[in-house]
Amino acid sequence: MKVSLWLLIPIVFFRFSQGKEHFNYGTKLPEARAHYQKGWEQILDRGEWTLAEASFRKAVELDSNFLLGWSQVGRISQNPKERALIFKQLSDKKSRLTGWEKKLLEVYLGSLELIDARDRGIQISRKQISDFYSLSENHFSGFLKVYPNEIYVYSEYVEVIHGIYGSKPALDSLQSQVVKGNKLNPFLISYTAQMQADLKDFENAFQTASESERRLNNPKLPIISFTNAFIYFEKGQFESAGKFLDQTLILDKNHTLAQRLKKRLDQKSKDL
DSSP 11: P
Query: How far, in Å, CA of 70 to CA of 57, rounded?
Result: 8
Tell me the DSSP string of 59-77. HHHH-TT-HHHHHHHHHH-
Q: Tell me the CATH number for domain 185-272.
A: 1.25.40.10
Q: CA neighbours within 13 Å on the CB side: how many for 13? A: 13
Query: How far, in Å, CA of 86 to CA of 88, rounded?
Result: 5
* Cβ pair 152, 44 in contact under 8 A: yes
Mind spelling out the 3-state secondary structure of 99-135? HHHHHHHHHHHHHHHHHHHHHHCCCCCHHHHHHHHHH
Q: Domain spans of the chain?
A: 185-272
Task: Reduce the DSSP state of residue 51 to 3 states and report it.
Answer: helix
Q: What is the pLDDT along the chain (272 residues), one digit of tens a residue?
A: 443 322 333 344 445 554 457 899 999 999 999 999 999 999 999 999 999 999 999 999 999 999 999 999 999 999 999 999 999 999 999 999 999 999 999 999 999 999 888 888 888 899 999 999 999 999 999 999 999 999 999 999 999 999 999 999 999 989 888 877 778 999 999 999 999 999 999 999 999 999 999 999 999 999 999 999 999 999 999 999 999 999 999 999 999 999 999 999 999 887 76
Query: In Å, how far are 46, 49, 51, 67 from 38, measured between CA atoms?
Result: 11, 11, 9, 16
Question: Which of 43, 69, 46, 65 lies closest to 56 in space, CA to CA?
Answer: 69
